[in-house]
Amino acid sequence: MSTDNFKVVVLGGGPVGLTAAHALSRAGIDFVLLETRPTIVVNAGASLVLLPSGQRMLGQLGLLEEINRLSTPLGKVQRFDHQGNDIGDFHFFVRMKENHGFDPRVISRYDLTSLLFSTLPAEAQSALHPNKKVSSITTTSTAITARCSDGTSYTGDLLIGADGAHSLARAFIAPTAPTHPFLTTFRILWFRFPTPPSSNLFSPGTATETHGPGCAIQAFSAADHCAVGLYERLPSPTRERVRFTPEEETEVVRRWAHLPISPGLTVGKAYAARIQAGLADLEEGVVEEWIGERTVLVGDAAHKFTPSTGAGWNTGMEDVVVLVNELVRRMKAAVGVMGVAELREVGRVYQEARFTTVVGDCELAGRMTRLATWGSGVTRFLDRWFMGSQRVQRFLIDKGAQAVARTPVLEFVEVGKMEGGRVPWVGRENI
**Residues 265, 103: Cα–Cα separation, whole Å:** 26
| CB closer to ligand FAD out of 108 and 262 | 108
Counting contacts by CB under 6 A, is residue 133 touching ligand FAD? yes
Strands (E) in 12-65, as ranges, are 30-34, 48-50
**Residues 324, 79: Cα–Cα separation, whole Å:** 40
Counting contacts by CB under 6 A, is residue 162 touching ligand FAD? yes
| CB closer to ligand FAD out of 42 and 331 | 42
Counting contacts by CB under 6 A, is residue 181 touching ligand FAD? no
Q: Whole-number minimum distance, CB 166 to ligand FAD, in Å?
A: 7
Using CB under 6 A, which of 188, 219, 270, 279 touches ligand FAD?
188
Strands (E) in 215-275, as ranges, are 215-221, 225-238, 260-262, 265-266
Using CB under 6 A, which of 314, 325, 351, 407 touches ligand FAD?
314
Amino acid letter at 84?
G
Using CB under 6 A, which of 260, 316, 347, 408 touches ligand FAD?
316
The gap between the terminal CA atoms of the chain, to the nearest Å, is: 17
Q: Are strands 225-238 and 260-262 parallel, antiparallel or unpaired?
A: unpaired
| CB closer to ligand FAD out of 168 and 327 | 168
Using CB under 6 A, which of 74, 87, 96, 311 touches ligand FAD?
311
Counting contacts by CB under 6 A, is residue 310 touching ligand FAD? yes
Counting contacts by CB under 6 A, is residue 52 touching ligand FAD? no
CA distance to 84, 125, 227, 307, per residue, from 212 (Å): 10, 46, 20, 17
| Strand, helix or coil for residue 271 | helix
Q: Whole-number minimum distance, CB 226 to ligand FAD, in Å?
A: 14
Counting contacts by CB under 6 A, is residue 299 touching ligand FAD? yes
**Residues 30, 26: Cα–Cα separation, whole Å:** 10
**Residues 408, 421: Cα–Cα separation, whole Å:** 17
Residues in contact with 106: Cβ distance below 8 Å, sequence separation at least 6, in sequence order: 47, 48, 49, 50, 71, 72, 74, 220, 221, 222, 227
Residues in contact with 101: Cβ distance below 8 Å, sequence separation at least 6, in sequence order: 52, 418, 419, 420, 421
Using CB under 6 A, which of 102, 190, 271, 425 touches ligand FAD?
190
**Residues 255, 267: Cα–Cα separation, whole Å:** 10
**Residues 17, 317: Cα–Cα separation, whole Å:** 9
Applying CB under 6 A, the span of 43-51, 111-119, 200-208, 416-424 interacting with ligand FAD comes to 43-51
Using CB under 6 A, which of 81, 111, 232, 300 touches ligand FAD?
300
| CB closer to ligand FAD out of 15 and 347 | 15
Applying CB under 6 A, the span of 13-21, 81-89, 241-249, 284-292 interacting with ligand FAD comes to 13-21
Applying CB under 6 A, the span of 170-178, 311-319, 336-344, 398-406 interacting with ligand FAD comes to 311-319
Counting contacts by CB under 6 A, is residue 285 touching ligand FAD? no
Q: Whole-number minimum distance, CB 87 to ligand FAD, in Å?
A: 22
Going by the DSSP 8-state scheme, the letter that residue 222 receives in this structure is -
**Residues 29, 4: Cα–Cα separation, whole Å:** 8
Binding site for ligand FAD (CB under 6 A): 11-17, 34-37, 46, 48-49, 132-134, 162-164, 168, 188, 190, 229, 280, 299-300, 307, 310-314, 316
